[in-house]
């Protein structure tokens, strides 16, 4: 388990050397792209973290979680996951802001923290992808695309709780 990451990194580098690629230059190029990504998302992230911070500091998020928790807990579902699950298909940065809120309140290694991490790692910003791909192709009628895509997102939320519950506790 703990060897996954070093194995991926080492095999990529060894394969690159074997194919006679200048792996150092490639790595540096990639770092530049990574920095570009961070710079690209930074303004949106700061804006949404401020908005989520407002909701948190006012006590509104706790209020919502308290409202949902009796229902959620009766089926073993962490209540903190609900707001994030709702925001995830609409706004990637918004969901990340809520994710960090869960890390801060419950810890990244808590049950809720792990479930939220799995949701974040196994879903995408659905509405963004649908708009972009169909927009570029000039498609007006998308039929059941959104239904199937959102069903996949919902499945991810449910399965995250099941896998974390079965494999990690």
Partner 1 sequence: MSYIFGVMIALGFIYALVSGNMAALSAGIPEAAASAVELLISISGMLCMWSGFMRIAKDCGLTEKLARLLAPLLRRLYPDIDPDSKAFGYISVNISANLLGLGNAATPPGLNAMRELRKRSGTEIASDSMITFVVMNTASIQLVPATVAALRKSYGSTQPFDIIICVWITSAVALAVGLMSSRLISALTRRGRIWKR
With beta carbons less than 8 A apart as the criterion, state whether 121 and 160 touch: no
- Binders of partner 1 in range 138-157 (CB under 8 A): 138-145, 147-149, 151-153, 155-156
Residue 9 binds partner 1, judged by CB under 8 A? yes
Any idea what the Cα angle at residue 75 is, between residues 71 and 80, rounded to 5°? 60
68 touching partner 1, by CB under 8 A: no
Q: Which of 88, 81, 85, 125 is nearest to 103 (CA)?
A: 81
Position 84 contacts partner 1 (CB under 8 A): no
Residue with Cβ nearer partner 1 (71 or 158): 158
Should residue 133 be labelled a site residue for partner 1 when binding is judged by CB under 8 A?
yes
CA gap 86, 127 in Å, rounded: 12
Told to check if 117 binds partner 1 by CB under 8 A, we report: yes
The correct pick among 77, 94, 111, 112 for binding partner 1 (CB under 8 A) is 94
Site for partner 1 in 30-59 (CB under 8 A): 30-31, 33-35, 37-38, 42, 45-59
Q: Check binding of 86 to partner 1 (CB under 8 A).
A: no
CA distance 167 to 162: 8
Q: Mark out the alpha helices in 1-91 (DSSP H runs).
A: 4-18, 23-57, 60-74, 81-87
């Amino acid at each position: 388990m703990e060897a996954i990451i070093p194995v991926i990194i080492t095999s990529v580098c060894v394969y690159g050397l074997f194919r006679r690629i200048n792996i150092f230059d490639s790595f540096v190029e990639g770092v530049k792209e990574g920095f570009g990504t961070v710079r690209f998302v930074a303004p949106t992230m700061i804006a949404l973290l401020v908005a989520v911070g407002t909701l948190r500091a006012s006590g509104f998020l706790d209020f919502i979680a308290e409202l949902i928790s009796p229902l959620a807990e009766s089926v073993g579902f962490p209540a903190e996951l609900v707001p994030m699950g709702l925001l995830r298909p609409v706004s990637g940065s918004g969901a990340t802001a809520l994710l960090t809120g869960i890390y801060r309140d419950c810890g990244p290694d808590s049950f809720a923290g792990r479930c939220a991490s799995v949701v974040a790692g196994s879903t995408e910003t659905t509405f963004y992808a649908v708009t972009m791909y169909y927009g570029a192709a000039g498609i007006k009628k998308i039929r059941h695309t959104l239904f199937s895509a959102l069903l996949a997102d919902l499945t991810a939320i449910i399965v995250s709780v099941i896998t974390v519950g079965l494999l990690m506790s």
